[in-house]
Chain A
Protein backbone atom coordinates (compact mmCIF):
# COMPACT_ATOMS: atom_id res chain seq x y z
CA UNK A 1 0.00 0.00 0.00
CA UNK A 2 1.03 3.60 -0.56
CA UNK A 3 0.25 6.35 1.95
CA UNK A 4 -0.11 9.86 0.46
CA UNK A 5 0.73 12.99 2.49
CA UNK A 6 0.56 15.91 0.09
CA UNK A 7 0.44 16.96 -3.56
CA UNK A 8 2.46 19.64 -5.35
CA UNK A 9 4.07 20.47 -8.64
CA UNK A 10 6.90 18.01 -9.35
CA UNK A 11 9.75 18.93 -6.97
CA UNK A 12 13.35 19.12 -8.12
CA UNK A 13 14.66 17.11 -5.18
CA UNK A 14 13.55 14.08 -3.17
CA UNK A 15 12.17 14.78 0.31
CA UNK A 16 14.31 13.81 3.26
CA UNK A 17 13.11 12.27 6.48
CA UNK A 18 10.51 9.72 7.39
CA UNK A 19 6.76 9.47 7.51
CA UNK A 20 4.31 7.25 9.36
CA UNK A 21 5.97 4.42 11.32
CA UNK A 22 9.40 5.69 10.24
CA UNK A 23 8.87 4.74 6.60
CA UNK A 24 11.12 6.69 4.19
CA UNK A 25 9.46 9.32 2.01
CA UNK A 26 9.53 9.27 -1.79
CA UNK A 27 7.96 11.12 -4.68
CA UNK A 28 5.57 9.82 -7.34
CA UNK A 29 5.39 12.24 -10.29
CA UNK A 30 3.41 12.76 -13.43
CA UNK A 31 4.22 15.49 -15.95
CA UNK A 32 2.34 18.21 -14.04
CA UNK A 33 1.82 16.97 -10.48
CA UNK A 34 3.59 14.99 -7.77
CA UNK A 35 2.69 13.21 -4.55
CA UNK A 36 4.90 12.71 -1.50
CA UNK A 37 4.27 9.20 -0.21
CA UNK A 38 5.65 6.38 1.91
CA UNK A 39 5.13 2.63 1.62
CA UNK A 40 3.31 0.63 4.23
CA UNK A 41 1.86 -2.84 4.78
CA UNK A 42 -1.68 -3.83 4.04
CA UNK A 43 -3.34 -1.94 6.88
CA UNK A 44 -4.61 1.61 6.83
CA UNK A 45 -3.03 3.66 9.64
CA UNK A 46 -4.67 3.75 13.02
CA UNK A 47 -5.54 7.18 14.29
CA UNK A 48 -3.37 8.33 17.16
CA UNK A 49 -1.94 11.63 18.26
CA UNK A 50 1.54 10.48 17.18
CA UNK A 51 0.31 9.35 13.75
CA UNK A 52 -1.53 12.65 13.18
CA UNK A 53 1.58 14.63 14.04
CA UNK A 54 3.74 12.37 11.83
CA UNK A 55 1.44 13.19 8.87
CA UNK A 56 1.44 16.88 9.78
CA UNK A 57 5.25 17.03 10.07
CA UNK A 58 5.72 15.62 6.57
CA UNK A 59 3.29 18.12 5.07
CA UNK A 60 4.84 21.06 6.95
CA UNK A 61 8.36 20.07 5.86
CA UNK A 62 7.25 19.70 2.24
CA UNK A 63 5.44 23.05 2.20
CA UNK A 64 8.54 25.00 3.29
CA UNK A 65 9.77 25.03 -0.32
CA UNK A 66 6.60 24.96 -2.42
CA UNK A 67 2.84 25.26 -2.58
CA UNK A 68 1.17 22.02 -1.44
CA UNK A 69 -2.26 20.51 -1.18
CA UNK A 70 -2.33 18.45 2.03
CA UNK A 71 -4.07 15.08 1.86
CA UNK A 72 -6.66 14.02 4.42
CA UNK A 73 -5.22 11.73 7.12
CA UNK A 74 -5.46 8.06 6.18
CA UNK A 75 -5.23 8.53 2.40
CA UNK A 76 -3.97 5.08 1.45
CA UNK A 77 -4.09 3.56 -2.04
CA UNK A 78 -3.09 0.21 -3.52
CA UNK A 79 0.08 1.12 -5.42
CA UNK A 80 2.00 3.77 -7.37
CA UNK A 81 -0.30 3.29 -10.33
CA UNK A 82 -3.33 4.29 -8.28
CA UNK A 83 -1.55 7.49 -7.22
CA UNK A 84 -0.68 8.33 -10.85
CA UNK A 85 -4.25 7.62 -11.91
CA UNK A 86 -5.52 10.11 -9.34
CA UNK A 87 -2.98 12.76 -10.40
CA UNK A 88 -3.90 12.38 -14.07
CA UNK A 89 -7.68 12.09 -13.81
CA UNK A 90 -7.96 15.01 -11.37
CA UNK A 91 -5.13 17.09 -12.88
CA UNK A 92 -7.24 20.11 -13.82
CA UNK A 93 -9.03 20.35 -10.48
CA UNK A 94 -5.84 19.82 -8.47
CA UNK A 95 -3.82 22.32 -10.52
CA UNK A 96 -6.43 25.03 -9.98
CA UNK A 97 -6.55 24.19 -6.27
CA UNK A 98 -2.75 24.47 -6.04
CA UNK A 99 -2.82 27.90 -7.67
CA UNK A 100 -5.48 28.99 -5.21
CA UNK A 101 -3.27 28.28 -2.17
CA UNK A 102 0.09 29.22 -3.70
CA UNK A 103 1.92 31.75 -1.53
CA UNK A 104 -0.54 31.44 1.33
CA UNK A 105 -1.01 29.54 4.59
CA UNK A 106 -4.05 28.69 6.66
CA UNK A 107 -4.60 30.37 10.02
CA UNK A 108 -7.18 29.10 12.49
CA UNK A 109 -9.30 31.50 14.51
CA UNK A 110 -11.03 30.27 17.64
CA UNK A 111 -13.29 32.51 19.69
CA UNK A 112 -14.93 31.45 22.92
CA UNK A 113 -17.21 33.54 25.04
CA UNK A 114 -18.88 33.36 28.40
CA UNK A 115 -21.94 31.17 28.58
CA UNK A 116 -25.06 32.99 29.69
CA UNK A 117 -25.39 30.51 32.51
CA UNK A 118 -22.60 28.09 33.28
CA UNK A 119 -24.45 25.69 35.51
CA UNK A 120 -27.62 24.93 33.56
CA UNK A 121 -26.45 25.32 29.98
CA UNK A 122 -25.48 21.66 29.73
CA UNK A 123 -27.73 19.96 27.14
CA UNK A 124 -27.91 16.77 29.21
CA UNK A 125 -29.27 18.65 32.21
CA UNK A 126 -31.49 21.16 30.46
CA UNK A 127 -32.78 19.13 27.55
CA UNK A 128 -35.46 17.30 29.51
CA UNK A 129 -38.39 19.05 31.08
CA UNK A 130 -37.11 22.46 30.10
CA UNK A 131 -36.97 21.99 26.37
CA UNK A 132 -38.27 25.39 25.44
CA UNK A 133 -35.80 27.23 27.64
CA UNK A 134 -33.03 25.11 26.25
CA UNK A 135 -33.98 25.85 22.65
CA UNK A 136 -34.23 29.56 23.38
CA UNK A 137 -30.79 29.56 24.96
CA UNK A 138 -29.46 27.62 22.01
CA UNK A 139 -30.96 30.09 19.53
CA UNK A 140 -29.48 32.99 21.48
CA UNK A 141 -26.10 31.29 21.48
CA UNK A 142 -26.27 30.82 17.70
CA UNK A 143 -27.21 34.48 17.17
CA UNK A 144 -24.30 35.54 19.33
CA UNK A 145 -21.88 33.28 17.46
CA UNK A 146 -23.12 34.61 14.11
CA UNK A 147 -22.64 38.23 15.22
CA UNK A 148 -19.14 37.48 16.46
CA UNK A 149 -18.27 35.62 13.24
CA UNK A 150 -19.47 38.57 11.15
CA UNK A 151 -17.37 40.97 13.20
CA UNK A 152 -14.29 38.77 12.68
CA UNK A 153 -14.96 38.59 8.94
CA UNK A 154 -15.33 42.36 8.61
CA UNK A 155 -12.03 42.92 10.37
CA UNK A 156 -10.07 40.08 8.73
CA UNK A 157 -11.40 40.16 5.13
CA UNK A 158 -8.75 42.58 3.84
CA UNK A 159 -5.96 40.37 5.26
CA UNK A 160 -7.18 37.07 3.80
CA UNK A 161 -7.95 35.46 0.44
CA UNK A 162 -10.72 33.21 1.67
CA UNK A 163 -12.33 31.95 4.84
CA UNK A 164 -14.29 28.98 6.09
CA UNK A 165 -16.50 28.86 9.16
CA UNK A 166 -16.58 25.44 10.71
CA UNK A 167 -20.02 24.14 11.59
CA UNK A 168 -20.48 23.46 15.26
CA UNK A 169 -21.97 20.21 16.40
CA UNK A 170 -23.63 21.51 19.56
CA UNK A 171 -24.53 24.74 21.30
CA UNK A 172 -20.97 25.53 22.30
CA UNK A 173 -20.28 29.20 22.94
CA UNK A 174 -17.62 29.46 20.31
CA UNK A 175 -16.75 30.45 16.76
CA UNK A 176 -14.24 28.44 14.75
CA UNK A 177 -12.98 29.63 11.41
CA UNK A 178 -10.07 29.15 9.02
CA UNK A 179 -8.59 31.93 6.88
CA UNK A 180 -6.32 31.61 3.85
CA UNK A 181 -3.64 34.28 4.36
CA UNK A 182 -0.72 35.42 2.16
CA UNK A 183 2.70 34.76 3.75
CA UNK A 184 3.32 38.51 3.77
CA UNK A 185 0.13 39.18 5.76
CA UNK A 186 0.57 36.56 8.51
CA UNK A 187 2.09 38.96 11.05
CA UNK A 188 -0.52 41.63 10.36
CA UNK A 189 -3.28 39.03 10.66
CA UNK A 190 -1.97 37.92 14.07
CA UNK A 191 -1.75 41.53 15.15
CA UNK A 192 -5.36 42.06 14.11
CA UNK A 193 -6.41 39.03 16.18
CA UNK A 194 -4.63 40.46 19.23
CA UNK A 195 -6.43 43.78 18.69
CA UNK A 196 -9.80 42.04 18.36
CA UNK A 197 -9.12 40.02 21.50
CA UNK A 198 -8.53 43.27 23.38
CA UNK A 199 -11.54 45.05 21.84
CA UNK A 200 -14.19 42.37 22.27
CA UNK A 201 -14.64 42.33 26.00
CA UNK A 202 -16.73 39.20 26.48
CA UNK A 203 -14.82 36.87 24.14
CA UNK A 204 -11.41 35.23 24.04
CA UNK A 205 -10.09 35.22 20.48
CA UNK A 206 -7.05 33.14 19.59
CA UNK A 207 -5.14 32.34 16.44
CA UNK A 208 -3.55 28.98 15.55
CA UNK A 209 -1.13 28.10 12.80
CA UNK A 210 0.22 28.62 10.26
CA UNK A 211 -1.25 25.35 9.00
CA UNK A 212 -1.03 23.73 5.58
CA UNK A 213 -4.20 24.77 3.70
CA UNK A 214 -6.33 21.78 4.80
CA UNK A 215 -9.53 23.84 4.66
CA UNK A 216 -8.85 25.25 1.18
CA UNK A 217 -8.06 22.26 -1.01
CA UNK A 218 -11.13 22.61 -3.24
CA UNK A 219 -10.67 24.26 -6.62
CA UNK A 220 -13.65 26.52 -5.93
CA UNK A 221 -14.62 28.31 -2.76
CA UNK A 222 -17.59 26.47 -1.24
Chain B
Protein backbone atom coordinates (compact mmCIF):
# COMPACT_ATOMS: atom_id res chain seq x y z
CA UNK B 1 0.00 0.00 0.00
CA UNK B 2 1.13 3.55 -0.52
CA UNK B 3 1.11 6.54 1.75
CA UNK B 4 -1.53 8.14 -0.49
CA UNK B 5 -4.01 5.57 0.71
CA UNK B 6 -3.76 6.84 4.26
CA UNK B 7 -6.76 9.03 4.85
CA UNK B 8 -5.93 11.70 7.35
CA UNK B 9 -8.25 14.45 8.35
CA UNK B 10 -7.88 17.59 6.29
CA UNK B 11 -8.34 20.10 9.06
CA UNK B 12 -5.45 21.68 10.83
CA UNK B 13 -1.86 21.15 9.90
CA UNK B 14 0.10 22.03 6.80
CA UNK B 15 0.39 19.79 3.73
CA UNK B 16 3.99 19.04 4.67
CA UNK B 17 3.01 17.99 8.18
CA UNK B 18 0.16 15.88 6.85
CA UNK B 19 2.47 14.11 4.38
CA UNK B 20 5.02 13.43 7.11
CA UNK B 21 2.34 12.18 9.49
CA UNK B 22 0.84 9.94 6.80
CA UNK B 23 4.25 8.42 6.10
CA UNK B 24 4.89 7.78 9.79
CA UNK B 25 1.43 6.28 10.28
CA UNK B 26 1.99 3.97 7.32
CA UNK B 27 5.40 2.88 8.64
CA UNK B 28 3.96 2.27 12.10
CA UNK B 29 1.17 0.17 10.63
CA UNK B 30 3.68 -1.74 8.48
CA UNK B 31 6.06 -2.43 11.39
CA UNK B 32 3.25 -3.58 13.62
CA UNK B 33 1.89 -6.04 11.08
CA UNK B 34 5.15 -7.48 9.77
CA UNK B 35 6.82 -7.92 13.16
CA UNK B 36 3.81 -8.90 15.33
CA UNK B 37 1.37 -10.37 12.80
CA UNK B 38 1.48 -12.96 10.06
CA UNK B 39 2.10 -16.67 10.29
CA UNK B 40 4.98 -17.40 12.67
CA UNK B 41 7.22 -20.36 12.04
CA UNK B 42 7.62 -22.89 14.84
CA UNK B 43 10.46 -21.97 17.15
CA UNK B 44 12.92 -24.72 16.36
CA UNK B 45 12.84 -24.01 12.62
CA UNK B 46 13.36 -20.29 12.68
CA UNK B 47 16.17 -17.85 13.22
CA UNK B 48 15.65 -14.81 15.35
CA UNK B 49 15.37 -11.62 13.36
CA UNK B 50 18.48 -9.56 13.92
CA UNK B 51 18.07 -6.23 15.69
CA UNK B 52 14.57 -6.89 16.93
CA UNK B 53 15.11 -4.87 20.10
CA UNK B 54 16.43 -1.93 18.10
CA UNK B 55 13.30 -2.09 15.99
CA UNK B 56 11.09 -1.91 19.06
CA UNK B 57 12.94 1.23 20.15
CA UNK B 58 12.49 2.67 16.66
CA UNK B 59 8.79 1.80 16.76
CA UNK B 60 8.36 3.78 19.96
CA UNK B 61 10.12 6.74 18.33
CA UNK B 62 7.75 6.54 15.37
CA UNK B 63 4.77 6.47 17.73
CA UNK B 64 6.13 9.57 19.46
CA UNK B 65 6.64 11.37 16.15
CA UNK B 66 3.12 10.53 15.03
CA UNK B 67 1.85 11.97 18.30
CA UNK B 68 3.72 15.20 17.69
CA UNK B 69 2.33 15.46 14.16
CA UNK B 70 -1.23 14.70 15.08
CA UNK B 71 -3.25 16.64 12.50
CA UNK B 72 -4.73 19.77 13.97
CA UNK B 73 -2.73 19.51 17.16
CA UNK B 74 -1.24 22.95 16.74
CA UNK B 75 -4.09 25.19 15.76
CA UNK B 76 -7.28 23.82 17.19
CA UNK B 77 -8.53 25.10 20.48
CA UNK B 78 -8.85 22.45 23.20
CA UNK B 79 -12.35 21.04 23.40
CA UNK B 80 -13.90 20.70 26.81
CA UNK B 81 -17.05 18.80 26.05
CA UNK B 82 -15.41 15.47 25.29
- Residues of A89-115 at the interface with B, using a CB-CB cut-off of 8 Å, are 94, 97, 106, 108, 110, 112-114
Q: Which residue of B lies closest to A216 (CB)?
A: B37
Contact A211:B8 (CB < 8 A) given known A47-B54, A202-B79: no
Q: How far is the CA of A166 from the CA of B37 in the complex (A)?
A: 11
Interface size on A, residues (CB 8 A): 60
Assign chain B's interface to a size class: 35 or more
In the complex, what distance in Å separates the CA atom of A97 from the CA atom of B37? 13
A44 contacts B49, C-beta separation under 8 Å: yes
Interface residue A159 (Cβ < 8 Å from any Cβ of B)? no
Interface string of A1-26 (1 = CB under 8 A from B): 10010010000000000000000000
Which residues of A approach B to under 8 Å, CB–CB?
1, 4, 7, 43-47, 49, 52-53, 55-56, 60, 69-78, 82, 85-86, 94, 97, 106, 108, 110, 112-114, 118, 144, 166, 169, 172, 176, 178, 190, 193-194, 197, 201-202, 204-212, 214-215, 217
Chain B residues within CB distance 8 Å of chain A: 1, 5-9, 25-27, 29-42, 45-52, 54-55, 60, 63, 66-67, 70-73, 76, 78-79, 81-82
